[in-house]
Amino acid sequence: MKTLRSLLLTLLMSFAYVVPAAWAAQPAGAAVPQQAASLYQRLGGYDALAAVTDDFITHLATDPQLGRFFLGLSADSKARIRQHVIDFLCVATGGPCQYTGRDMKTAHTGLHITEEDWNNSVKYLVGTLDHFKVPDKEKTEVLTAISSLKPDIVGR
């Protein structure tokens, strides 16, 4: 749980917005700039993350190589994985959700995810983000956050 908190804190901090010092030094009565929208908001919120998750997981589950990770799972298990992915993305992008799943190392230990599996998964994620016309800036932010998880997922 401590590792999960550290990971989530690191992810959240990487998406935090800091008010520039110049804004703080504005004279009284000056217009205060609006805070930039979070990545969660710029991506379209919960429903957009759910749609991206559904598309992404469908690609993974139907891939001849990656589908092995979904074999034998009950409908309830698949629904739980879906919800964990949505909640994780929500938290990682600055949304209001709470992630209650296991930390990435624990969740992926024993799955023997290879470098090739990782690369194929990233290709599907990029394809999904392109399908939903996610702008390059936001796509880069999502991929940066996800790539930081690679050491906890590959080779476990």
Q: Is residue 30 part of a domain?
A: no
Q: Is residue 139 part of a domain?
A: yes
Stretch 98-104: mean pLDDT, rounded? 93
For residues 15-40, one letter each, b for 16 or more C-beta atoms within 10 angstroms of the residue's C-beta and e for the rest, the string is: beeeeeeeeeeeeeeeeeeeeeebbb
Q: Is residue 107 part of a domain?
A: yes
Supply the range of the domain harboring residue 67.
2-11+39-153
Q: Is residue 27 part of a domain?
A: no
Q: Is residue 84 part of a domain?
A: yes
pLDDT score of 31: 52
**Residue 110, token pair as written in the block:** 């024993």
Q: Report, in angstroms and rounded to the nearest whole number, the Rg of the chain calculated over CA atoms.
A: 18
Q: Is residue 28 part of a domain?
A: no
Amino acid at 56: F
- Is the model's pLDDT at 95 over the cut of 60? yes
Stretch 42-56: mean pLDDT, rounded? 97
- Chain segment 142-153, per-residue pLDDT in tens: 999 889 999 999
Q: Is residue 24 part of a domain?
A: no
Mean pLDDT, rounded, of the chain: 82
- Chain segment 6-24, per-residue pLDDT in tens: 333 333 333 333 223 333 3
Overall number of domains in the chain: 1
Q: Which long-range contacts (CB under 8 A, 24 or more apart) does 12-19 make?
A: 12/91, 12/92, 12/94, 14/144, 14/145, 14/148, 15/39, 15/92, 15/93, 15/94, 15/141, 15/145, 16/94
Read off the pTM.
Answer: 0.74
Residue pair 101/87 in contact by the 8 Å Cβ criterion? yes
Could you give the CA distance from residue 25 to residue 139 in angstroms, rounded to a whole number? 33
Element (H, E) at 49: helix 45-62
Q: Is residue 31 part of a domain?
A: no
We report the CATH number of the domain holding residue 44 as 1.10.490.10
pLDDT score of 1: 37
